[in-house]
Chains A and B, each alone.
Chain A
Amino acid sequence: MSAMTRKGPHPALRWSLLALFGIFFLTPLLSMADFSTRNLIQGGRTGQAWKNLFQDDALYSAILISLGLALFTVVLMLLVLVPTMIWVRLRTPWAKGMMEFLCLLPLTIPALVIVVGLKGVYDWVTYFLSYVGLGESALALTFVYVVLVLPYSYRALDSAMSAIDLKTLSEAARSLGASWTTTIMRVVVPNIWSGILSASFIAIAVVLGEYTIASLMGYTTLQVQIVAIGKADGTTSVAASLAVLLLGFVLLMVLSLFGGRGRRTGATEDPVAPAPSVPASLSPRPQPGGNNHP
């Protein structure tokens, strides 16, 4: 994993591959953009479908719900995963395999099975949420979604944590007088920041794209609403889909920008001791959004 010094393919091959993939990915997007701006009745172009995104109340509230779900899922996922993963790495390394297995498990379970399995649990969830006035709220989906994003977020955080010497850094902080909270917030988090960002953005992408579970459990999220609209108004539903895709794309761009921030590789000044420092030897992290090495 650390020795990934590949020689790139021939430039011509590289560019033609890039062009091929560009066409492959852009064609559907352009088609969607084309379709969503068509005036199906009178012919020509119209921005009505895009206006509907904000004027259609049901769609607007579905957007808010999905964004809220994304936010809560990210926060809860980070609160659960980050301290647990740090703890396991430092204190119970033998449990790492088990934790990995548990975190990857949701990948292998079909959505339908998750829904059926969680139905009983969710009666309780809504029961307790009703005490804080959220009984019928779609935000209750947060809990399923946290489970759903675990595999992706775990991977992102795990590779960020592998890239630093977590044990030595936290022990150094501890010996300098830092409590566990201070150690995590001031030393660990800043050094796995790109992992936290990827984990968050992947979680957002998963939540914004999820349809099956929300629909089976009867909550009106953005995807559910898009499908509903699509039955009556094709262009608006395509506009909404495209908007979600573009949002995801923007998120990934932001991710690759921020992921590259704070990585400083400087020339080693003392030629007799060219020992690699921890951050200089960061292995490339799997980050959607592409290559962020300058």
Chain B
Amino acid sequence: MTTTTQPGTRAGLAVELTDLTRVYGSNRALDGLTLHLEPGELVCLLGPSGCGKTTALRILAGLDEATSGTVEVGGKDLTHTPANKRDMGMVFQAYSLFPHMTVLDNVAFGLKLRGVDKAQRSTKAGDMLDLVGLGVHKQKFASQLSGGQQQRVALARALAIEPSVLLLDEPLSALDAKVRVQLRDEIRRVQLDVGTTTLFVTHDQEEALAVADRVAVMNAGNIEQIGTPEELYTQPSSAFVANFVGLTNRVPGELRGGAVLVHGATLPLLGAAQPDGQVTALIRPENIEFAPDGLAATVVASSFLGNVRRTQVRLADDSVLSVQHDVSEHPQTGDGVFLRFKSHAISASPTPAIPSS
């Protein structure tokens, strides 16, 4: 059962969640969620707080039971298998290292339960700690490590048992921004290295887009859209997804014959056809540019973001838009500028009738 293969030599298993529903009292935390993970793939569950991400993950881990639906891993039905027989590595949002054990013992714990002898499990646990860059802290206790280090150990501990699936529930949310970015890249590197099928839960779209092979955007207990980060960003299937993934301007417009009229520009509509009428168009800041003439606006503020610059402008109707542009342009607060919409397809949602003034 326990193998001592080197990381990377073993292919991951496919995961199949079918029609999962979880009801708490009158609250449907999951509402018919279906999700497929390819072997070795990293899928992010992305969604606002309370949309059921953790619930889905816990059901896959066996820590919670679905009201209905099935869980399959590698073609085996695990729906009613208890958590300790599922062979899944899990990293929790809260710090979860066993406080009474050294870092090495923490990582070796799962191997000990699998009857691996002492020398072998120490070697393996040491290897896993090296993999996450904590080889020198083997004899420390959790309380002597920083938050980021603790989560790395938790990752090593989850991977030491060579799990069939790796589950991460917002493992970075307790860390501060810099460590978060470092560690998320490291998680991705390690995951690619060991090739374990991975489900990564987060509410941070930037994190999801950065690490995932595919991102599943969740809303109210179900998956709204699943696709590669590029697909989600450029072709959001709904206003919810467009809003949630990436920064978006909400601009009033009118839908007529499959195209949206916004401020005099006609832009093609993305996604399914919608009935004509008043809509809110969702336009990315990078799809608006400065031009010699066009829509007049006044610069409100401009910020330097490293490789690009983002500028807030106020239109004549007092609405504010975000424009993303090259760093070579330096708009100053109060400047008068003209805007042009690039002819990218956009998504739009019907506007509830608002009296236009």
Q: A174-B84, A264-B141, A279-B99 are in contact. Are A273 and B147 (CB under 8 A)?
A: yes
Cα–Cα, bound, A36→B219 (Å): 77
Q: A177-B161, A272-B176 are in contact. Are A277 and B100 (CB under 8 A)?
A: no
Chain A nearest Cβ from B14, distance in angstroms: 20
The 8 Å CB contact of B63, one of A174, A190, A193, A269, is A174
The 8 Å CB contact of A273, one of B83, B96, B143, B179, is B179
Cα–Cα, bound, A177→B145 (Å): 25
**Residue pair A177, B98 in contact (C-beta under 8 Å):** no
- How many of A's residues come within 8 Å of B, CB to CB? 35
B contact residues around A265 at 8 Å (CB): 143
Q: A264-B141, A275-B174, A279-B142 are in contact. Are A175 and B99 (CB under 8 A)?
A: no
> Could you say which of B86-94, B199-207, B250-258, B318-326 contacts chain A?
B86-94
Interface size classification for chain B: 35 or more
A contact residues around B342 at 8 Å (CB): none
Cα–Cα, bound, A164→B143 (Å): 13
**Residue pair B179, A168 in contact (C-beta under 8 Å):** no
Cα–Cα, bound, A273→B140 (Å): 17
Closest chain B residue to A263, Cβ basis: B143
Chain A nearest Cβ from B116, distance in angstroms: 11
**Residue pair A266, B90 in contact (C-beta under 8 Å):** no
B113 at the interface (CB under 8 A from A): yes
- The residue in A177, A267, A268, A272 that gathers the most chain B C-beta atoms within 10 A of its C-beta is A177
Given contacts A262-B100, A277-B143, 8 further A-B contacts (CB under 8 A): A168-B94, A175-B83, A177-B161, A178-B113, A191-B99, A273-B146, A273-B179, A275-B150
5 shortest A-B CB distances, which residue pairs? A266-B144, A275-B147, A270-B146, A176-B110, A279-B99
18 A-B contacts (beta carbon < 8 Å): A172-B157, A174-B62, A175-B61, A175-B62, A175-B90, A176-B109, A177-B87, A177-B113, A177-B161, A179-B84, A262-B100, A265-B143, A270-B145, A270-B147, A270-B149, A272-B178, A275-B95, A275-B147
Spell out B's residues near A (CB within 8 Å). 61-63, 82-90, 92, 94-100, 109-110, 113-114, 140-150, 154, 157-158, 161, 167, 174-176, 178-179
